[in-house]
Amino acid sequence: MGKQASTETTGAPAATATSAPAAAGVRTDWWAVPAGVRGRVEAALGSPVESAVTQAGGFSPGVAARVRLVDGRRVFVKAVGPEPNPDTPALHRAEAGITAALPVTAPAPSLLLTLEHEGWVVLVLEDVDGRAPAQPWRPDELRRVLAAAAELSVLLDPSPIEAPTLADRFGEKFQGWRRLSAASTEGADDLSWLDPWARRHLGRLVDREAAWTAAAAGGVLVHGDLRADNVLLTDDRVVVVDWPWASVGAAWFDVVAMGPSVIMQGVPDTMGVLDRHLHARGADPDDVTTVLIALAGYFLRQSVQAPPPGLPTLRGFQRAQGEAALKWARERTGWR
């Protein structure tokens, strides 16, 4: 959720014409990986690395690079060590397990190899010759991704693998409004930075947030962190990358989770496009609004925490997502 992700693209993300922050952190170059780790990877692949082009999209402080081997093959390499962010290796392990278990028909890169050495976790994936959606979003590309999300939810219903439920995955995280309210009551935060509408309706937001786990329940395997930097567009398909947050829940969750990152760019009628898509899929409108409120609280509270080690740009991105989610929630609730 605006956390650690990578983009397997043919180049850097397209420049944005808005003031919205980009989903881009600080990457580690392939050649900065310890020689022993690089040697293990090359031995497992059966060829030395000739070139490695770092991909800018996503927040992970590790390696995310399109790699050409001396024998001419191309692969995509993700690698991370215990520094600077101690949580990232576990996410790479989770991604490896989930990616390996996805059906072969899933529009996701194949996992070719995973290894651990000297505290580093390395994933070698199929190299996808695609690009990230343009930023700000183009209407035709947004429609492609929304259609792909709908198709993916059908393919992964019921979940073909064992994975945590959304409640188990995010239950401790999606308590932002409750924690902001407690901080205000305790005098730790006067919430002067928070939108006046949210301060006015804080009690209602806390109550609605408490129901999000029931609202998001379902049997579909969802990506859990769908955004432009986790999507690749090829000539004939939409490929979804970076699966460490995959969870079991409502079929429409990924679209709701992606919505704030699209809205924050100021694309005209984005909320209308998202609402019409969710309605067409039969998503219960009250459940959608409940989950959206929980997302807004999560993003906004996280945005005022200290930056995680190695992820200096994350909080600004979360703040923009939180403000966009709040704007969408305000429209959907009709509260004045």
Residue 329's closest CA among 249, 277, 260? 260
Bond prior to 158 in cis (omega within 30° of 0)? yes
DSSP string of 263-323? HTTT-TTHHHHHHHHHHHTT--HHHHHHHHHHHHHHHHHHHTSPPPTT-TTHHHHHHHHHH
Structural domain range at position 289: 139-333
- Listed residues 102, 126, 150: the one ending a domain: 126
The residue to which tokens 């497992």 are assigned: 44
Please give the pLDDT value at position 27.
84
CATH number at residue 316: 3.90.1200.10
| 275: β partners | none
Please give the pLDDT value at position 2.
38
- Listed residues 126, 160, 186: the one ending a domain: 126
DSSP string of 178-201? HHHHHHHHTTS---TTS-HHHHHT
Specify whether the CB–CB gap between 322 and 193 falls below 8 A.
Answer: no
Is residue 240 within a helix (H) or strand (E), and if so which, with residue range?
strand 238-240
Please give the pLDDT value at position 1.
53
Q: Which residues of the chain have pLDDT under 70?
A: 1-19, 22-25
Residue 76's closest CA among 239, 303, 210, 222? 239
Q: How many helices (H) and strands (E) does the chain have?
A: 12, 9
Please give the pLDDT value at position 21.
75
- Domain count along the chain: 2
Specify whether the CB–CB gap between 126 and 220 falls below 8 A.
Answer: no
Please give the pLDDT value at position 35.
97
- Listed residues 105, 126, 147: the one ending a domain: 126
Same domain? For 122 and 143 the reply is: no
Same domain? For 239 and 185 the reply is: yes
Residue 289 counted as domain residue: yes
Same domain? For 179 and 325 the reply is: yes
Residue 44, SS3 per DSSP: helix
Specify whether the CB–CB gap between 284 and 277 falls below 8 A.
Answer: no
The residue to which tokens 């991105």 are assigned: 317
Same domain? For 270 and 237 the reply is: yes
Same domain? For 58 and 203 the reply is: no
Residue 294's closest CA among 165, 187, 188, 167? 167
Same domain? For 178 and 63 the reply is: no
